[in-house]
Structure 1
């Protein structure tokens, strides 16, 4: 433990208006930080202010492609977090510009501002030799961050779940409207879903001074499940029966490529929950779980003193809305 007291100290959170950001900011506000949320659209970050006391959370404009905006966002800050990332490229928001070059730019700006307390959120599966652009640029971003700021603490979560997630909500949406769900590659890919609240707590503890500088922490939940098992759990939770249809990797990649092309031609008009890319299919060829080395070295949630929440304890609390009668499912008038 540490006696570090963050009260009235400024921390800048880049990309804090997203799914992970709102949970991390809640944890930082609880710890007493004054939080500066750096985002391209400050007007879309007003929902964060109720997470802290009056005046504790403020949004400022910043863009990772403009160094001056990064420097301004870090002025007088004593710590910083980089959460900026994308699941699929769109326009100027490419994997390279956001996850590789952007991460390096944020870390360099932090180093120039004299900030050593820095946390960067990456992903399990980051690999410089991967065929997936997402995984390659995540690895490139880690390398760039450590090069600019060797004291950086890196968090690599597996699939992150929580009320606003793009995993369980996505498949529940598909199940509500489709007669079958695809099992890409047979659904045998292993995942270790981690609760967003546990990820946020890990980040907050590292920023309080816990953990090892320059270390990479791999975060996963209490259980490893196959993709098929997770889809079965989703269907059971929302009380719906759907076929689970195996889809070979090659066929899924071809379909993903066609979807990407069609979505560009339609200027992004396709429903996001039904669109996947060939790059995402490539990611599913590899398991996404905490490594044995990280477990042995204590670079995990348990190593940080956090007991992870299970999907059974959390997911039903927000997927109930996908049941045919919502929260009233299972209730009958007497």
Structure 2
């Protein structure tokens, strides 16, 4: 069947789309940038440009669809453009009316655990949206209330992972002992796909949470074990946290909990003893233990493209023309690809900085690196072809961009090994840091890698290690951004599920 999905590019929505595709269904994706968003799936996803905030965009969106999965919503307001009332409540009303008009057989609304009792503005808006569904959605509707969802790019646990990897100290609300019950995104995605596919339960609300109760402190301790880092935990009184979150975000410092989420933490996010957990008891999903899910998350953070950074895009080139190499072009490339860890200069770059992390540059591999004063950062290998490797930085890196390694034959008997980086700072704080120590360390690192490759070749570089730095503007910067985005999207399509490739929602 064809399913209209809103919010399909977020953590929850993407997981649900993947599971629907695996089960053989097709998806119509409603989003503001649907044509671009749909490129990350190889097939089965039809783009529909628009948003739930527009009557015109929603009109006709469900034509030809048998079901609607409504995930889109906001957890923080940005008035006047984006408010809880307009997006969470009125957006749901628009979708409910459209689903009824189109005669869909199933309308699944993704609410939030605690919406029926929570006092935060977010929870109040989700409850109001639930009331809209009950009154105005077509018969057979279902409300799913997930607990805190974690997965690549989520706004809490992914951010905690970034902080554990990069900071010597992490702020906590109070003692960090507020309990919650997080659910792994793939488990929730499977539950939502089954909710869409099945006829029952109907016209009720189902709570869906993970198998383990934890706290912010507990999550940080688990992440510390995974990353082999032990940041100091700094308790922040609740009133100070409320005053400080907006100020911190204004100057570019991420805080692991937004202002409205402080209220939700106090309200509790744990199933009462004896209550039904729809994840297992309604949808029959085998839950992922928290420790296992965090281990998956550690290698699954999303790529951060050059277009997502701040400031000027810089291109840096470091290369050497090697004469008399004992290795062929292909052999030198294999040394770079499989033994990059041995080329990195000691004290400036450690490859494989976390237990079990990869060291060879294979397509799809995520490498964890340790950099002085920056902690652990990650890059993902998104393309290996024709003696060229392209790696892209992941969220949590001080830079957003791509690094390219090339081994080419520039003349008979002469090989060129080149490292080319296209980067801009990830945010304001990193922009300041990269202007000082970061830039010096980056230059020394890549010069060291090129010099080590010359030594491994057995040849010589009469001109030594050469370098060039250029600030890119206008079309030059746009061309690089488009190139990196296309490489990443091609990689994502290769990783995406094919329609009907498995039995994703059965059970």
Structure 2: how far apart are the matches of 1:14 and 1:218?
A: 20
User: Structure 2 CA distance, aligned partners of 1:280 and 1:314?
Assistant: 22
Q: Would the aligned equivalents of 2:180 and 2:215 in 1 still touch at CA under 8 Å?
A: yes
Verify the 8 A CA contact 1:199 1:219 in the aligned structure 2. yes
RMSD: 2.5
Residue in structure 1 matching 2:119, options 131, 151, 175: 131
Give the distance between the partners of 2:208 and 2:236, measured in 1 at CA.
29
SS of residue matched to 1:186:
coil
Say whether the 8 Å CA contact 1:218–1:294 is kept in structure 2.
no
SS in 2 for 1:35: strand
| Higher share of residues assigned strand | 2
The structure whose Rg is larger is 2
Name the counterpart of 1:153: 142
The residue number in structure 2 matching 1:270 is 252
Task: Answer yes or no: is the 8 Å Cα contact 2:155–2:256 preserved in 1.
Answer: no
* Shift of residue 294, structure 1, vs aligned partner: 4.2
1:244 Cα offset (Å): 1.2
8 Å contact 2:151–2:158 — kept in the other structure? no
TM alignment of 1:11-160, pairs within 5 A: 11-50=3-42, 54=43, 56-91=44-79, 92-127=81-116, 130-149=118-137, 151-160=140-149
Q: Deviations over 1:145-169 (max 9, x none)?
A: 1111253211111111223333322
* 2:153 maps to 1:164: yes
Residues 151, 178 of structure 1: CA spacing in aligned structure 2 closer, same or farther, 3 A cutoff?
same
Q: Is the 8 A contact 2:150 2:158 kept in 1?
A: no
**Structure 1 residue runs without a partner (length 5+):** 1-8, 264-268
Matched residues in 1 for 2:218 and 2:300: separation? 21
The whole-number CA distance in structure 1 between the counterparts of 2:37 and 2:229 is 35
Aligned residues: 309
Using a 3 Å threshold, how does the CA distance of structure 1 residues 326 and 89 change in structure 2: closer, same or farther? farther
Give the Cα–Cα distance (whole angstroms) in 2 for the partners of residues 233 and 176 of structure 1: 12
Q: Name 2:443's counterpart in structure 1.
A: none
CA-CA distance at 1:213 after TM superposition: 0.6
1:190 CA drift (Å): 0.8
CA distance in 2, matches of 1:63, 1:193: 28
Gaps of 5+ in 2: 302-348, 360-507
Q: Distance in 2 between matches of 1:31 and 1:243?
A: 45
Do residues 197 (structure 1) and 220 (structure 2) align? Answer: no
* Cα displacement (A) at 1:285: 0.9
TM-score normalised over the length of structure 2: 0.57
| Match in the other structure for 1:329 | 354
Q: Is 1:305 aligned to 2:293, yes or no?
A: no
Q: Secondary structure at the match of 1:155?
A: strand
TM-score (norm 1): 0.84
Distance 1:233 1:93, change over 3 A: same
- Structure number with higher helix proportion: 1
Deviations 1:211-237 (A, max 9, x none): 311121111111111221112112222
The answer as to 2:263 corresponding to 1:285 is no
Deviation at 1:314, TM superposition (A): 2.5
Q: Does 1:317 align with 2:299?
A: no
